[in-house]
Amino acid sequence: MSERGSFYLDDGDPSPVDIVGGEVDSEFFLICEHAGRRVPRCLGDLGVHSSEMERHIAYDVGAEAVSRRLASALHAPLYIQPYSRLVIDCNRPLEATDLIPEVSDGAEIPRNLALTPEERMLRFEKIHRPFHEAVSGGLDRVVARGRKPILLTIHSFTPIMRRTGKVRKIELCICFNRDDRLAKAMLSEVQARYPGVKVALNDPYPVSDMLDYAIPVHGERRGIPHVLLEIRSDLISDEVGEARWTDIVSKTFRAAVAKLKPVQS
């Protein structure tokens, strides 16, 4: 294997998972897979200009702050992934072509070009697998306490795609794959309580087995209620926006879960 393939995390690199409130006894369980933009020291700067690391290609802007507020509001554990999605995307399966992107929204990622299968697997084993094993363990602990977990994963999306110039006017995307029950219940709550919010199902992003990992693996395989939320990042770029959207999401999520419970029982 080439020297370039000697991927590792050293003592100066963060753990692949940051757990907030891991011992909180709650049915709600939160994940933020694209929270951070850290790069392991062995990869340097990925060959990417520092300005690119401020963009949505590197992380979900504002998602971590909202996730932390939601964990507090919902009294729920939160599992945060601190590494940049340009290092490895922890919401993609191993087989996904963009698990480690060579180009993202028009920006080339030099340290990701022409990686061998072995080089890809090293990143998967050091970051992706430990994060999701921690999530699985956390969900197991919720079950061990006699509760059925309800999974909420928090993301954000950019209002404008640089490469295409496409403008997104949707403010909140409520996403699902095969099981639409919680997503549709939450859509109904948002529309009823916040009629001014531009909300849609699976727009701009649907969930699928090849484009997502958390919902298919932790939600569908376990047969637990789940939903993936995408909030437009310009709306959560400051504390006022973070607080507003925490309030919107926490209230409508709770109400949607309560609406489903008679069906689940």
- pLDDT tens per residue, the chain (265 residues)? 334 557 999 999 999 999 999 999 999 999 999 999 999 999 999 999 999 999 999 999 999 999 999 999 999 999 999 999 999 999 999 999 999 999 999 999 999 999 999 999 999 999 999 999 999 999 999 999 999 999 999 999 999 988 788 899 999 999 999 999 999 999 999 999 999 999 999 999 999 999 999 999 999 999 999 999 999 999 999 999 999 999 999 999 999 999 998 654 4
Q: Which CATH code fits 3-264?
A: 3.40.630.40
Report the distance separating Cα 253 and Cα 246, nearest Å. 10
Q: Which two tokens stand for residue 129?
A: 């697998």
Q: What is the pTM of this model?
A: 0.94
Q: Which two tokens stand for residue 119?
A: 């080089």
Report the distance separating Cα 151 and Cα 169, nearest Å. 26
Instruction: Name the E strands within the chain.
Output: 18-20, 28-32, 78-80, 103-104, 107-108, 150-157, 172-175, 199-201, 226-232
- Please choose, from the candidates 177, 242, 212, the residue with its C-alpha nearest in 3D space to the C-alpha of residue 34: 212
Report the distance separating Cα 58 and Cα 35, nearest Å. 9
